[in-house]
A and B are shown apart, each in its own frame.
Chain A
């Protein structure tokens, strides 16, 4: 095949560039924000309509477990941000370790969530269970929203964790390096989104005073 006579456009191949990649990731994050946004809208309306019930139901949630989870996620945001700094400075090893810490933090978050949910199941508070059926309307809406929203959030924690595992492999294979780390940055952005959503979930479910 004759490449000499082939005409190539000046911006050909630039769909590989980092700015495009970052913009694409941000646009995807916007869709996630609005996805959860819809749920926050529902929460807002029903909290407005059933203020007392929401307060009553929220007392079942353990503020301290929620707070620990918040601290855990904030820490993980810091470590993933630091891993990017490390990569920018050429320290792949440190970067790798910081990502492992991030993943570990994700694991802790999920374990605590697991205990919280198990406690609810034991009390029969999941939609369809017996005690749930006896609750007031507003309380049932609270619990449904609690499970739906924290569940959807936990799903995103898992996805974020898998994304970070993929990034670890890429670093080990040198596909992410000091001069080429957009994938790491994008995974960090996704991870911060997961943190952001929890930043709002926490006070709205656990701290209704």
Chain B
């Protein structure tokens, strides 16, 4: 796992994301936003399902932002690996804490 590389201008492969790709990412995000607002305003009384749907769409947007705008898709794998650790950690914190409350009620 020796990552020592002599210092270059970038230190990683220079991949230039085109303006078009950024615009497409933006459109995708807008569509997801429209979806989430529509589900909420017109979607009605789904309660838990509404929360889960909203979180799912939000997470979809987050993944798009992270992979494309934040360049994770094209960066070295170590960055994605580190982010996974953070995500898993947070999910377990939330799950264990929520479990306590759900069982108590």
Q: Chain B contacts of A23 at CB under 8 A?
A: 78-79
Secondary structure type dominating chain B contacts: helix
Task: Determine how close the nearest CB of chain B comes to the CB of A67; give it in whole angstroms.
Answer: 6
Q: Are A81 and B46 in contact (CB under 8 A)?
A: no
Assuming A16-B7, A85-B22, A192-B70, is B86 touching A48 (CB within 8 A)? no
A40 to B59, CA, bound (A): 14
Chain B: which residue is nearest A179 at the CB level? B9
| Contact for B62 among A70, A71, A199, CB less than 8 A | A199
Report, as a range, how many residues of chain B touch the other chain: 35 or more
Chain B: which residue is nearest A64 at the CB level? B37
| Contact for A204 among B33, B44, B54, CB less than 8 A | B54
Q: Chain A contacts of B1 at CB under 8 A?
A: none
Q: Chain A contacts of B30 at CB under 8 A?
A: 71, 74
CB neighbors of B among A32-88 (8 A): 33-34, 37, 40-41, 44-45, 47-49, 51, 63, 67, 70-71, 74-75, 77-78, 81-82, 84-85, 88
Chain A: which residue is nearest B56 at the CB level? A203
A38 to B82, CA, bound (A): 19
Chain A: which residue is nearest B33 at the CB level? A70
Q: Are A77 and B65 in contact (CB under 8 A)?
A: yes
Q: Chain B contacts of A203 at CB under 8 A?
A: 36, 40, 54-55, 57-58
Assuming A20-B11, A78-B22, A196-B62, is B16 touching A88 (CB within 8 A)? yes
Q: Chain A contacts of B7 at CB under 8 A?
A: 13-14, 16-18
Q: Chain B contacts of A16 at CB under 8 A?
A: 7
Q: Are B22 and A18 in contact (CB under 8 A)?
A: no
Indicate the member of B23, B61, B98 with the most A CB atoms within 10 Å. B61
A89 to B18, CA, bound (A): 10
Q: Are B86 and A34 in contact (CB under 8 A)?
A: yes
Q: Chain B contacts of A75 at CB under 8 A?
A: 26
CB neighbors of B among A160-209 (8 A): 179-180, 182, 185, 188-189, 192, 195-196, 199-200, 202-204, 206-209
> What are the 6 A-B residue pairs with the smallest beta carbon separation, nearest first?
A19-B11, A207-B40, A18-B11, A203-B54, A17-B7, A78-B26
Footprint of A on B, CB under 8 Å?
Answer: 3-12, 14, 16-19, 22-23, 25-26, 29-30, 33, 36-37, 39-41, 43-47, 50-51, 54-55, 57-58, 61-62, 65-66, 68-71, 75-76, 78-79, 82-83, 86, 89-90, 93-94, 97-98, 101-102, 105
A-B contact pairs, 30 of them (CB 8 A): A14-B6, A17-B7, A22-B12, A22-B75, A26-B79, A26-B83, A27-B82, A33-B86, A34-B89, A40-B94, A41-B93, A41-B97, A44-B98, A63-B41, A71-B30, A74-B30, A74-B33, A75-B26, A78-B22, A78-B23, A85-B19, A88-B14, A179-B9, A188-B69, A192-B65, A204-B54, A207-B36, A207-B50, A208-B50, A209-B43
